[in-house]
Structure 1
């Protein structure tokens, strides 16, 4: 677990974190190892051959953070500047065992930033599932990056910090909130990695019961949205009820008290529906009216109702046991045939506009 306790801004500045930004250019978010298979760099012999076999700093760091290969500590110290290596060890980004170093996090690139994330982001089911980056995070990050006028931003459920950092790059002062200390440490480290350490403040808290006195020009959240009964997997976060919308509704109701007069909230989630669209649209329209705000709902292309990732499955990839029975019964009971990812933009005003990503 990343830890930045006792590490000062001077420690980050002196470590030469820019070395990590010089690693081979690739985008694990796009390559998504489990989806596009052989394009993933650690499965592609051409990519491997492109990395120098010499013990330069870049080669050592690429072995650790891109390809996930252990490196002898003696070899690492021969190539990597001592302050950088010591910082990575102190922050528990690297771990040592039997004289070998291994990276507990991968380095991914997205929207012009380098981010330390759980190996899940690289298509590997190893390590933590908390601070990872997927295509949903990338979609929302690009929308945040387009909001250039925000001077203050709030990132609820920050994970790696990518959303808040997208706002910080535009000059916003950011408060990043998560219930998981590992995510807060990852967001803090990633802020320093991208030269934005002075623009991000990490706050530990549950986004379902958070009390904030400030208002923000931009509120952004990619909250837990796994369509599973809360607590069924025993995570700090992930499950969002059988409809996958429990966190979404709670956050939406908090939005009016978090936004400045001309502020905007961007909330991302997914919902069941049919060929006409998600079922929750009438309820959303009524809730926006009650809250006296307007909304613009952008829908992704739909997929068939999917069984949530990470849940236990049998050899046919069907959910097993009580959990599988619950999900199948729910999907059947509501007549769902489609599953829609979406982003909702919320502002002052009234009405709901429904569109689709181009």
Structure 2
């Protein structure tokens, strides 16, 4: 039987529903980066919001935040935590696929901690909804590539993307692709773990 997890994280009370990705090393790495941002954004988007921890932390640097997830269980979990922390006026929650529901030139900041782990034969024994939160297909790039192709239209001029990438899913391809699309790209944070290295990539849009 799956259990509900409850804890305090970065000043927020967090409840994680069954089948929703529980914050882990990649989440904490992303949270530390968001905490270090020293500018204010008009509107931020958290793609794949899960339990909502990144969305809630973004309220400290964004005037308004939109959280989206393809999982209804995840969007309900985010809404639960938003209400739990009394920040309903700062966050809008949408169920949808990546950036599909949004109009062009909507966001100043987009963050995405994508499903990036390559699939293996044992994944078939894991619940599909749980697997969607971390499995990125055969090479780990299925969702990453779809997102990269779609997100630029949602950014305003000088808008920024923060994207987490694993050494297991070809981060160099991500860097090259973003550069070829006209973005200024850099790795702003990296950490090594026992079976992979995680990178936080920043891409800034400099064109209309």
- Normalising by structure 2, report the TM-score: 0.83
Q: Extract unaligned runs of 5+ from structure 2.
A: none
CA distance in 2, matches of 1:132, 1:253: 27
Instruction: Give the deviation of 1:234 after TM superposition.
Output: 5.1
Alpha carbon RMSD of aligned pairs, Å? Answer: 2.5
Q: How does 1:1-358 map to 2 (within 5 A)?
A: 105-118=4-17, 128-147=18-37, 148-207=39-98, 210-214=100-104, 215-228=106-119, 232=124, 233=126, 235-236=128-129, 237=132, 238-272=134-168, 279-281=170-172, 283-297=173-187, 298-304=189-195, 339-349=196-206
CA contact (8 A) 2:44 2:58 kept: yes
Instruction: Give the deviation of 1:181 after TM superposition.
Output: 1.1
- Normalising by structure 1, report the TM-score: 0.50
CA contact (8 A) 2:165 2:171 kept: no
Q: How many residues align?
A: 198
Q: Which residue of 2 aligns with 1:60?
A: none
CA contact (8 A) 2:157 2:206 kept: no
Instruction: Give the deviation of 1:135 after TM superposition.
Output: 2.0
What SS does structure 1 have at the residue aligned with 2:114?
coil
Deviation string, structure 1 residues 6-53 (Cα, Å, up to 9, x no partner)? xxxxxxxxxxxxxxxxxxxxxxxxxxxxxxxxxxxxxxxxxxxxxxxx
CA distance in 2, matches of 1:158, 1:226: 17
Instruction: Give the deviation of 1:342 after TM superposition.
Output: 1.5
Instruction: Give the deviation of 1:229 after TM superposition.
Output: 5.7
What SS does structure 2 have at the residue aligned with 1:186?
helix
> By percentage of residues, which structure has more strand?
2
What SS does structure 1 have at the residue aligned with 2:128?
coil
> By percentage of residues, which structure has more helix?
1
CA contact (8 A) 1:158 1:184 kept: yes
Deviation string, structure 1 residues 45-99 (Cα, Å, up to 9, x no partner)? xxxxxxxxxxxxxxxxxxxxxxxxxxxxxxxxxxxxxxxxxxxxxxxxxxxxxxx
Following TM superposition, the consecutive aligned residue runs of length 4 or more in structure 1 with deviations greater than 4 angstroms are none
Instruction: Give the deviation of 1:280 after TM superposition.
Output: 4.2
CA contact (8 A) 1:164 1:174 kept: yes
CA contact (8 A) 1:293 1:346 kept: yes
What SS does structure 1 have at the residue aligned with 2:29?
helix
CA contact (8 A) 1:155 1:221 kept: yes
CA distance in 2, matches of 1:169, 1:192: 16
CA contact (8 A) 2:114 2:144 kept: yes
Instruction: Give the deviation of 1:250 after TM superposition.
Output: 2.0
CA contact (8 A) 1:267 1:344 kept: yes
CA contact (8 A) 2:51 2:81 kept: yes
CA distance in 1, matches of 2:203, 2:53: 20
